Amino acid sequence: MSFLISKFFNTIIFHAFLFLFLIIGIQNSSNKSKVDFFLDETVELPISFIMGLSFISGSILGSLINIDSKKKIK
């Protein structure tokens, strides 16, 4: 149980630092775009922020999924 908790906190801390570096890195970004949802659209955000945030969120979700490749299905 403690392994899962430490894995969770390590993942969150690592990705928080990635997010911090992303915020610092996009300060001078001039290419902005809107993301269209079904009902509404977002404010203009830098494209690098949209791509970086999707990478970070996918990386968080991927690191929390446990895939046991050694388990054999009979």
Q: What is the pLDDT of residues 17-27, one digit of tens each?
A: 999 998 888 88
pLDDT score, position 63 = 83
Neighbours of 11 (CB within 10 A): 16
Burial 38-74 (b: 16+ CB within 10 A, else e): eeeeeeeebeebbebeeebeeebeeeeeeeeeeeeee
Q: Is the pLDDT of residue 66 over 90?
A: no
pLDDT score, position 13 = 93
Q: Is the pLDDT of residue 49 over 90?
A: no
Instruction: Please give the average per-residue pLDDT across 21-40, as a whole number.
Output: 83
